[in-house]
Chains A and B, each alone.
Chain A
């Protein structure tokens, strides 16, 4: 079950790994999309499905870390209602600025933002998205004031960034990469602790003086809470094996994903808990809500 519309990155990775799991498990693996309410409808459907290991959901940073803080009446609990099977994808966000902006480094951007408080705009794909929250965290850590301009999806936001109508954006690495390489926008930093293998010369925000800045967009396989341990372990093992497959790794690379830092189901649960706390805090301070 993919809680998002077909064709997005979460859907693509599900459709890529499904045939690998199918041959490993000797069972047909069908990808079904149930989009709506920021992924909550699909996630809730799986949370309340039969816990026999036959129904899995692509749980993502939105459904399992951000939405619990954003929506007041979430019908499921991201920790208690799920077994977290395997983290599949981690994609960094990258801080990109319009070519019209004079800032050439993070330090220059901070200085510029301090000189003109409330003048710079940062775009994002929606309120409560990683792009929005990364911007809020940036404002907090640097003590700057910038205006958040939300769009309906990141495509129109990128269009306005290319045209210079907004100053900057914390965009998903995969979608930002072609325009960075073509010199249409300038990348200043990645949002993860480690540098990206795709842009090894690009510093991290952590290196640029924003200590501890670490945001990654992630998603992975999750099962209903009552799924037996043996089933979870088997699925986790096959998923890890599939990830090691060179064909799949090449496809993953094309989406800008780094190798997951989390390996076992237990580590994954701990990871989700950590992320959930981080975003609960961030969402609260940003004042964002969806209710």
Chain B
């Protein structure tokens, strides 16, 4: 079997002590920056780039990849403990993970996030090894019209399933869409809603909005409670998941892994949908959807597996086509080019030790992360015993540093503060921020792909239905709408975004 032969080559490269060491450095650094709110893998990898020039390319790539998926692990830690998502992927983890922490179940939440991520990482690594080149061809089948239809489906699935405060959920999605319009119009280059502020011409950063809406707003509403703030740790019964927890989450892990692996392959923002999609899916298939938003372990297991699987499979378009699916992948391409390796279709044939070594190292790295993270859970949970009057100023400072480091601009910190206020208002009005975040992410992507598809078809809207993949998503969206519109089924409509 060629695959085993290839993986064998890969493992031979990956277990060389020096490569293991760089992998270790990578995952440690990644976990660290993932835990620190706001400081993301992009800034870290950029700072480390000059160091990698003098390493051999395999070691350099192994370390950078370690930082990337290490950060995915670490990011869930802050989301669960203090409700601050550092990356788009951990927004969803906040919903149930933080609730679990409030119930004294921070330990199981962290453990299931780590175990789910490990499982997803292993599966995704195998997928890359077995099927990277054909999957890359699938990714190419997604053009503007396919992306648009996929996102329509995503948005319909998310908003239509919201319940109770359906009007509020729609209002929040619309607010998100509006906020997503800020910046330069891709087609004409015209600035929209920037009010002459040059800092707004690239739009509002996602991390900034998410940290303001979740993190800052959470801190403000906690401070309002004066001394009555719940003591998370008093209720801690166990650090590790119980049998019941594992039983509840194994299926969610499987589904999350499948969904994340599939969406991660798409270079045009598919990975963004992975964790949102996984959460919606879990809620849809659950027999007890009312538990979601109140600390359902499936709500942590599914999205966490999905985002880790997506993070791994997003290497496919980068390694096989030279197309970066996000800023981190773009940085890795930069690092490879400096080494004189142009990422593209030939890497696999010309540099098998690099390609397979990297893949094998991902598995090694994932293993290290689990070994590293499980014993640390106790320590993280202890962190919650720190009195809030000490904890919140340090969180705020780290958030401000993190946001500032995104583009060395104090303006971004101001924006975060504004969104913190907005988030607090939303808490008071009982409007959940998650639909807004989804609208904010999907809105600009949808608009861009819609207009591009129309430009390519010279204004013919039938393209969305004449292309098979696109048509499939459109039909699925339509069916979903009809299903929810039927009053009989509406009675059983499930909640997706209701947090409280």
On A, residues with C-beta under 8 Å from B are 5-9, 11-12, 15-16, 18-19, 32-38, 40-41, 44, 70, 73, 75, 121, 126-128, 147, 149-152, 155-156, 158-160, 162-163, 165-166, 174-175, 177-179, 181-182, 184, 250-251, 253-255, 288-291
Contact = CB atoms under 8 A, between A and B. Distances in A.
A142 to B, nearest CB: 21
B331 interface: yes
Contacts of A182: 344-346
15 contacts: A6-B49, A16-B50, A32-B408, A36-B409, A127-B188, A149-B455, A150-B186, A150-B187, A150-B189, A155-B324, A155-B330, A156-B268, A158-B323, A159-B139, A290-B190
Nearest to B448: A152
B143 A155 contact: no
A44 B199 CA distance: 12
A35 B340 contact: no
B186 A126 contact: yes
B427 interface: no
A19 B50 contact: yes
B408 A33 contact: yes
A7 B343 CA distance: 15
Interface stretch (B38-46, B169-177, B391-399): B38-46
B190 A16 contact: no
B50 A6 contact: no
B47 to A, nearest CB: 8
B338 A255 contact: yes
A36 B345 contact: no
B409 A34 contact: yes
Contacts of A290: 184, 189-191, 201
Given A126-B186, A163-B143, A250-B340, 14 more contacts: A5-B42, A6-B42, A6-B43, A6-B49, A7-B46, A7-B327, A15-B49, A16-B53, A35-B202, A150-B186, A177-B342, A178-B345, A179-B321, A291-B190
B187 A127 contact: yes
B334 interface: yes
A159 B268 contact: yes
Given A7-B49, A289-B190, A38 B407 contact: no
Interface string B343-363: 111110000000000000000
Contact of B50 (A18, A155, A166, A250): A18
B267 interface: yes
Interface centre among A150, A184, A288 (most CB of B within 10 A): A150
Interface string B58-82: 0000000000000000000000000
Nearest to B329: A155
A211 B395 CA distance: 61
A175 B342 CA distance: 8
Nearest to B330: A7
Contacts of A184: 344-345
B456 A149 contact: yes
B452 interface: yes
B140 interface: yes
B233 interface: no
A121 B186 contact: no
A165 B141 CA distance: 10
B452 A155 contact: no
Query: Which 10 A-B pairs have CB atoms at the shortest separation, nearest pair first?
Result: A178-B344, A6-B46, A127-B189, A7-B331, A178-B342, A182-B345, A290-B189, A37-B198, A37-B201, A163-B140
A181 B198 contact: no
A40 B200 CA distance: 12
A160 B190 contact: no
Contacts of B49: 6-7, 12, 15
A36 B140 contact: no
A152 B203 CA distance: 12
A159 B323 contact: yes
B144 A160 contact: yes
A155 B346 contact: no
Contacts of B198: 36-37, 40-41, 44, 75
B337 interface: yes
Contact of B343 (A38, A178, A255): A178
Nearest to A1: B408
Nearest to A179: B344
Contact of A152 (B186, B199, B409): B186
Nearest to A19: B50
Contact of A254 (B268, B337, B452): B337
A158 B344 CA distance: 12
B339 interface: yes
Interface string B125-160: 000000000000001110110000000000000000
B241 interface: no
B456 A166 contact: yes
A40 B184 CA distance: 14
B378 interface: no
B345 A251 contact: no
Contact of A12 (B189, B322, B325, B338): B338
Contacts of B324: 155
